[in-house]
């Protein structure tokens, strides 16, 4: 903010706006106004539609004042969307969260769950397919809660079925799901719909029932493992990924070892690992028995080492197989005509091509694997 202050001092006509979900946390907007009085506009994520209006107010005002609007949680369908990728597109289907995990600030800054109308989502996806987008990802803090707040019988399973009827050469992905309400009808919708990729991100957070209760996750280990069993029975080639947090308040070595055992048992295709970081305004912030940072670092190293072995083994199983890949473009890590895309189960695939295949769907036979990355040739 120091650099921005200097820009403002050199150019009094410069308008400084701060936008985002954290400004909706109690007291944050007023604190920003007090600490950085040169800020002109503070908006929450639910108020971004007011940005143009607020800019005009600032321009027409004869004296400086900080305009704050962070209080309303709604859905505005008229905000323009600017997309930078010609292959991938992301579509929000639900906002907010009702789960109130004890470590998470999201329900407090994003509000309760609010689903978009199914017709609006379907029309947006139809337009994206018509514009040539090949991979469309449905977004929400908890996508499988979609429709619960609507009174028209909408559900995530029904939405997947309707989106799958759209004609065109494209694939659907989604994230994130909550194990609490990942229902059988959602599993069935994924299994029967060829448009839906067989990748499911299903955060577990911990393999310890004690920690899951402390985190207020609303399920136990047995529920999660049974859900994994049902998913793999219906979708044998599914790529399961997860989130795991280490070092939450009260986590013992025994709790952590239970997490390692669950990782070995489930054999996730990928894990997003996190060291717990305290967030003011959440129940976890004031909980006793906070875990020392050194212990957190040791545990996450052991977790990553365990998962790395599994990732290499799963990648090895892909060798010799042929996969249909949506080409995302050139891999920026290489300067020799290396293109990339992802398998249906989410693995990154690199392959060589003398022509630009961005946006095309090609078949690639996997020759070698390196950690979570696959290398192959077009067939």
Q: How far is CA 264 from CA 156, 227, 269, 274, in A?
A: 30, 16, 11, 18
Task: For each of the domains in the chain, give its residue range(s) and CATH number, in order of start.
Answer: 2-69 (no CATH), 88-317 (3.80.30.20), 319-378 (2.40.50.140)
What was the pLDDT predicted at 45? 78
**Mean pLDDT, range 257-270, rounded to an integer:** 98
**Mean pLDDT, range 126-136, rounded to an integer:** 94
What was the pLDDT predicted at 43? 86
- E-state strands within 202-316: 239-246, 270-275
**Mean pLDDT, range 149-163, rounded to an integer:** 96
The Cα–Cα gap between 120 and 116 comes to 7
**Mean pLDDT, range 98-120, rounded to an integer:** 93
What was the pLDDT predicted at 150? 94
* Per-position b or e across 3-30, b if 16+ CB within 10 A of its CB: eeeeebeeeeeeebebbebbbbbeebbe
The Cα–Cα gap between 157 and 172 comes to 13
Task: Give yes or no for residue 140 having a pLDDT over 90.
Answer: yes
Task: Give yes or no for residue 328 having a pLDDT over 80.
Answer: yes
94: tokens are 């639900």
What was the pLDDT predicted at 53? 87
- Answering whether pTM is above 0.95, one says no
**Mean pLDDT, range 226-250, rounded to an integer:** 98
**Mean pLDDT, range 122-143, rounded to an integer:** 95
Task: Give yes or no for residue 70 having a pLDDT over 70.
Answer: no
Please give the order of strands across the beta sheet that includes 67-69.
17-19, 41-43, 67-69
Handedness of CA 185, 190, 196, 199 (dihedral sign): positive
What was the pLDDT predicted at 110? 85
What was the pLDDT predicted at 241? 97
Residue 196 pLDDT grade (very low, low, confident, very high; cuts 50, 70, 90): very high
What was the pLDDT predicted at 118? 97
The Cα–Cα gap between 338 and 317 comes to 22
Task: Give yes or no for residue 67 having a pLDDT over 80.
Answer: no
Q: Which residue has the higher pLDDT, 46 or 250?
A: 250
Per residue in 278-325, pLDDT tens?
999 999 999 999 999 999 999 999 999 999 999 999 999 999 999 999
Task: Give yes or no for residue 81 having a pLDDT over 80.
Answer: no
What was the pLDDT predicted at 113? 94
Nearest Cα neighbor of 67 from 54, 48, 86, 83 is: 54
**Residue 176 half-sphere exposure toward CB, CA atoms < 13 A:** 13
The Cα–Cα gap between 280 and 283 comes to 8
Q: List the helix and strand counts (H, then E) for the chain.
A: 11, 16
Pairing of strands 17-19, 348-352: unpaired
Residue 62 pLDDT grade (very low, low, confident, very high; cuts 50, 70, 90): low
What was the pLDDT predicted at 73? 67
What was the pLDDT predicted at 72? 62
Task: Give yes or no for residue 115 having a pLDDT over 80.
Answer: yes
Nearest Cα neighbor of 368 from 314, 327, 318, 323 is: 318
Look at 16-25, 32-41, 90-99, 356-365 and tell me which has the smallest mean pLDDT.
16-25
Answer for the pair 32, 18: CB distance below 8 angstroms, yes or no. yes
Residue 193 pLDDT grade (very low, low, confident, very high; cuts 50, 70, 90): very high
Per residue in 351-373, pLDDT tens?
999 999 999 999 999 999 999 99
């Amino acid at each position: 903010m120091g650099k921005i202050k200097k820009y403002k001092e050199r150019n009094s006509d410069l308008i400084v706006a701060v936008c985002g979900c954290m400004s909706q946390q109690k007291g944050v907007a007023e604190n920003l106004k007090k600490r950085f009085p040169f800020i002109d506009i503070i908006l929450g994520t639910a108020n971004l539609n007011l940005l143009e209006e607020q800019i005009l107010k600032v321009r027409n005002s004869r004296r400086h004042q900080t305009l704050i609007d962070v209080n309303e949680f709604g859905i505005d369908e008229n905000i323009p969307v600017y997309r930078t990728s010609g292959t991938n597109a992301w579509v929000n289907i639900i906002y907010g969260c009702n789960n109130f995990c004890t470590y998470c600030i999201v329900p407090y800054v994003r509000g309760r769950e609010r689903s978009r109308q199914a017709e609006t989502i379907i029309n947006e996806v139809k337009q994206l397919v018509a514009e040539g987008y090949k991979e469309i990802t449905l977004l929400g803090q908890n996508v499988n809660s979609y429709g619960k707040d609507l009174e028209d019988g909408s559900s995530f399973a029904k939405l997947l079925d309707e989106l799958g009827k759209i004609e065109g050469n494209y694939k659907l992905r989604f994230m994130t799901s909550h194990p609490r309400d990942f229902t059988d009808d959602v599993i069935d919708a994924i299994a029967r719909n060829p448009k839906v990729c067989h990748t499911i991100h299903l955060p577990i957070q911990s393999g310890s029932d004690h920690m899951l209760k402390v985190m207020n996750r609303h399920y136990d280990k047995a529920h999660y493992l049974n859900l994994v069993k049902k998913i793999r029975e219906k979708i044998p080639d599914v790529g399961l990924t997860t989130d795991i947090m280490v070092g939450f308040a009260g986590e013992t070595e025994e709790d952590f070892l239970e997490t390692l055992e669950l990782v070995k048992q489930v054999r996730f295709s990928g894990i997003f690992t996190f060291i717990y970081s305290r967030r003011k305004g959440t129940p976890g912030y004031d909980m006793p028995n906070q875990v020392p940072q050194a212990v957190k670092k040791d545990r996450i190293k052991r977790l990553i080492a365990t998962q790395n072995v599994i990732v290499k083994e799963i990648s090895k199983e892909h060798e010799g197989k042929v996969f249909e890949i949506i080409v995302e473009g050139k891999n920026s890590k290489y300067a020799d005509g290396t293109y990339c895309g992802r398998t249906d189960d989410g693995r990154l695939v690199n392959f060589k091509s003398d022509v630009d295949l961005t946006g095309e769907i090609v078949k690639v036979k996997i020759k070698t694997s390196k950690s979570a990355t696959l290398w192959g040739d077009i067939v």
